[in-house]
């Protein structure tokens, strides 16, 4: 993991996720580039070529184990990520997420994630390459779960 982290250092920014002034996790934004690409495009068979697109990958997303079991913390964390993406003017992203997180985001939260390639065992778990367009997610939320939409937008 450290080797992979270093490889993308020139194209990425790392962020701490805080809750009540405690650092509870991390996330990395890696910008697409022509030099080495993105981890997801280098490690998965994708249905679309994202090589020349202005897109980012969310990576190294981690929450301290104790906080993972609190759904409100998960929602607050997702809101912080959403706010960060909006602040950075990032309209869509790719991510490699494990099966448990995918099920939580799609079935429990209702986020319209799109699987863009073949899943595989990656870094120890069954992992899916996904894509999300923020405008689509906002519209979906507005139509399907207005309370959740308000939570993210406000």
**Residue 8: pLDDT band with limits 50, 70, 90:** very high
Give the per-residue pLDDT at 1. 60
Q: Which structure tokens are listed for 28?
A: 């990395």
Give the per-residue pLDDT at 102. 92
CB contact set of 12 (below 8 Å; sequence gap of 6+)? 28, 29, 30, 31, 59
The pLDDT tens digits of the residues spanning 20-68 come to: 888 988 999 999 999 999 999 999 999 999 888 889 999 988 888 887 7
- pLDDT above 80: residue 139: yes
**Residue 118: pLDDT band with limits 50, 70, 90:** very high
The pLDDT tens digits of the residues spanning 55-97 come to: 999 998 888 888 777 777 778 888 888 998 999 899 999 999 9
């Amino acid at each position: 993991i450290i080797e992979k982290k270093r490889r993308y250092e020139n194209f990425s920014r790392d962020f701490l996720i805080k809750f009540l002034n405690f650092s509870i996790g991390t996330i990395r934004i890696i910008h697409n580039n022509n030099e080495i690409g993105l981890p997801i495009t280098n490690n998965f068979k994708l249905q679309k070529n994202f090589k020349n697109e202005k897109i980012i990958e969310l990576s190294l997303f981690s929450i301290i184990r104790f906080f993972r079991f609190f759904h409100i913390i998960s929602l607050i964390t997702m809101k912080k990520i959403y706010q960060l993406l909006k602040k950075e003017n990032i309209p869509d992203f790719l991510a490699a997420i494990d099966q448990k997180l995918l099920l939580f985001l799609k079935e429990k939260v209702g986020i319209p994630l799109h699987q863009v390639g073949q899943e595989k065992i990656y870094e120890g778990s069954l992992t899916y390459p996904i894509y999300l367009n923020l405008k689509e997610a906002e519209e979906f939320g507005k139509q399907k779960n207005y309370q959740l939409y308000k939570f993210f937008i406000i």
